Amino acid sequence: MMFKYLFLLLTVSCGSLFQQESKTIYVAPQLADCTGVGQQKCMLIRETSKEAWSNFYDQIEGFTYEKGFNYKLLVTVTRVDNPPADASSLKYTLKEILLKEAVPDQISLFQNWKVIKLKGMEVISGSPTISFEEENGQVAGSTGCNNFFGSFSKSGNDLTFGPLGMTRKMCEDMKTEDMMSRYLEQIRHYTIVDDILILENESRDKLIYCTSL
């Protein structure tokens, strides 16, 4: 009888260990656009500081997120049997906030930028640039050969350029200019990550990467 009781106790304990565990996670200071059931904003989490951020589509019970803070959390992860359709099979519950640290204000879009990378090109030529003026809503820069100028429209992280004027000189290498010109017409969003400006199209493909001058 005692043997059966001990066996039952061990079985329940092992089952509990399988159903629930504690872990430490990091939460980024900004949200990301993501698609779950529909378009939404997701927290970005990772388990070590060396990993890439991953979208977190659910909530952490007991945790209230504030933008602009780095978090290190101790959470309990519980396996959910037979979760509803489109729901996660894991439930996260906050045990303790190990770190909440304010990050400096994000670098502003409104400055001079140097283009350092274009999607699909290993090497760019001519030192292309982009400059945004907040007061008059004007954008100007170089495509690596010719200068361009015009207006832009910004709402949150949505960004579009109006019709752009451009000088018309010919250069020995026009590949960078052709790619820049094509991409500028497609820009619909921007993000700034680790002081790098990333310009994206409607599908959030990253087309142009810039660093501040």
**pTM for the model:** 0.54
Which is it for the CA torsion 119, 68, 188, 174, positive or negative?
negative
For residues 170 and 180, give the distance between their C-alpha atoms in angstroms, rounded to a whole number. Answer: 15
* Chain segment 67-105, per-residue pLDDT in tens: 888 999 999 999 988 877 777 889 999 999 999 998 765
Contact 201, 191 (CB under 8 A): no
- Predicted pLDDT at 104: 67
Give me the percent of the chain exceeding a pLDDT of 90.
63
- Secondary structure letter of residue 202 according to DSSP: T
Average pLDDT score, the chain = 87
Q: Which tokens is 98 given? A: 């190990």
Query: What residues does each domain of the chain span?
Result: 20-102, 112-212
**How far, in whole angstroms, is CA 161 from its chain's centroid?**
22
User: 112-212 has which CATH code?
Assistant: 2.40.128.270
Give the pLDDT of residue 2: 44
Give the integer Cα–Cα distance in Å for 94 and 85: 24
Is residue 56 within 8 Å of 88, Cβ to Cβ? no
Under DSSP, is residue 10 helix (H, G, I), strand (E, B) or coil?
helix
The string of pLDDT tens digits covering residues 152-184 is: 999 888 999 999 999 999 998 899 999 999 999
- 198 pLDDT above the threshold of 60: yes
Q: What is the mean pLDDT of residues 26-44?
A: 86
